Amino acid sequence: MFVRPFRVKSNTVIKGSDRRKLRADISAAFPSLSADELSELVPNKEELNVVRIYAHKGDAVTIYVLNKNPLFFELEKRLYPTVYVLWRLPALLQTFRTWPPVLQKLIGGADLMLPGVVVPSSGLPKVDQGDCCAVSVVNNRAPVAVGTAAVSSAEMNNLGMKGRGVCVLHTYMDNLWAFGDKSGPPSLPDVESEGQGVNTEESEADEEDEEEERKEVKMHEEEEQSPVIMDALLLQCFLHALKSKVKKSELPLLTSTFLRNHMFSCCPSGKQLDIKKSSYKKLSKFLQAMQQQYNLVQVKELTKGVESIVEVDWKHPDHFSILLPYDSHVTVNPTLCDCLLEKSEYQEVVSLKWDDLFSRTLGRMQQCYQVVFPGQAPRIKKGHIEPIDISVASRGSNKKVKATIFYTDYQLMISVYFFRVPVPST
């Protein structure tokens, strides 16, 4: 939830009555806390603030901050402790253990999968689905992540420790952690690990088990990278290459050259195009599917065993509609939400049409105008444009007329002379 930066809406000091209410809410959410621990978490005289934010997906979150360190965050009327609290009270939540390499995945926004959970000799922590729980790494009891149980402990065992274990909301090193003093987790000895290290034979056996667990985690992560993602990247590079790289003079074009010189160069930075990881496995199968599905290209075997692109339909409507999709709606992010929506619309409006977005934006902009006269620098003024006063005077038996234009704001006077010319009747 806090992988990306969030936007602060308000930051206010909590009053005495609100402190008592917060203390009662924390006690109800975490009944294992003693009175002394509650007083330590919510003191009467130290600086305690309530910060209201919008997460990057638009979720409204309330954070309770003590001495500039976030202690708890409230999401959908439910309190969750931060890692700063759990480092002081590591036994506050049921905690699942995992391997240190998995921590980087959690920090990146992934949930804790059951193959990555280290099951102690005493068994899994007892949790029900949706219970608040924590995650720590082997050899250190200090929690590094907070979330909710995806399934109950009994269901985890029934599933054979496969699938999702903990839906992670907050981790060490995320933006909520960075909102505090950015201190690191303390070193708290892992009793389970110490007990396993007493006997050499048991230690060696445990190391083998750990290695197997790591392999299972790696295999599961590889399985998670669905070919669908690579298929989408393959299609994107294919269409991009046809639109911006391939020229008519190059046809017929060897498919291997098309892949090497055009498609690879269209791959976005930070991504790697690998056909073997797609559902097609081979370039020939992919191009065959593109020919049958979109009819954008024609592929023929001009030389035995060597395929070439012999024709490209440059005017095919799918050529642009697939490559450049257009959405008539704009997703309302936290910035647009604050600028364009009324308070009553915060939880209801998730997208706006383009014309509605522009009209709302223009309606909230301050009016201004610019007047330019030859030989003078342009003058820009805020607000509505000032009215222009025009006075008309007759001279010489109503034949000669003088019009005076007086611009109040700039104190400019322009005189215009003209004559009335009688038009003969027909």
DSSP 77-97: TEEEE-HHHHHH-TTSSEEEE
In this structure, what are the phi and psi dihedrals at residue 301, rounded to the nearest 5 degrees?
A: -95, 90
Q: Mean pLDDT lowest for which of 43-47, 106-110, 370-374?
A: 370-374
pLDDT value at residue 420: 54
The answer, yes or no, to whether residue 274 has pLDDT greater than 60, is yes
Neighbours of 42 (CB within 10 A): 24
pLDDT value at residue 406: 57
Which one-letter DSSP state was computed for residue 250? G
Q: Are 155 and 114 in contact (CB under 8 A)?
A: no
Q: What are the b/e assignments for 133-152, b being 16+ CB within 10 Å?
A: bbbbbbbbbbbbbbbbbbbb
Q: Are 259 and 308 in contact (CB under 8 A)?
A: no
Neighbours of 165 (CB within 10 A): 27
Of the two residues 422 and 283, the one the predictor is more confident about is 283
Tens digit of pLDDT for each residue in 197-228? 434 344 445 555 556 655 555 555 554 446 77
Which amino acid appears at position 45 of this protein? K
The answer, yes or no, to whether residue 304 has pLDDT greater than 90, is no
Strand locations in 38-89 (E): 48-54, 60-66, 69-75, 78-81
Average pLDDT over residues 149-162: 92
User: For residue 81, what pLDDT band results from cuts at 50, 70 and 90?
Assistant: very high
The answer, yes or no, to whether residue 111 has pLDDT greater than 80, is yes
Of the two residues 223 and 278, the one the predictor is more confident about is 278
Q: Which residues contact 332 (CB under 8 A, 6 or more apart)?
A: 58, 340, 341, 349, 350, 351, 352
In this structure, what are the phi and psi dihedrals at residue 344, rounded to the nearest 5 degrees?
A: -70, -15
Average pLDDT over residues 149-170: 92
Average pLDDT over residues 76-103: 93
Q: Are 137 and 131 in contact (CB under 8 A)?
A: no
Range among 5-19, 89-103, 388-402 with highest mean pLDDT value: 89-103
Of the two residues 372 and 129, the one the predictor is more confident about is 129
CA–CA distance, 287 with 243 (Å, rounded to integer): 16
Neighbours of 90 (CB within 10 A): 18
Of the two residues 409 and 91, the one the predictor is more confident about is 91
User: For residue 421, what pLDDT band results from cuts at 50, 70 and 90?
Assistant: low
Q: Which domains can be identified in the chain, with CATH numbers?
A: 7-86 (3.10.400.20), 90-222 (2.30.130.10), 227-317 (3.30.420), 329-361 (no CATH), 366-426 (no CATH)
The answer, yes or no, to whether residue 120 has pLDDT greater than 60, is yes
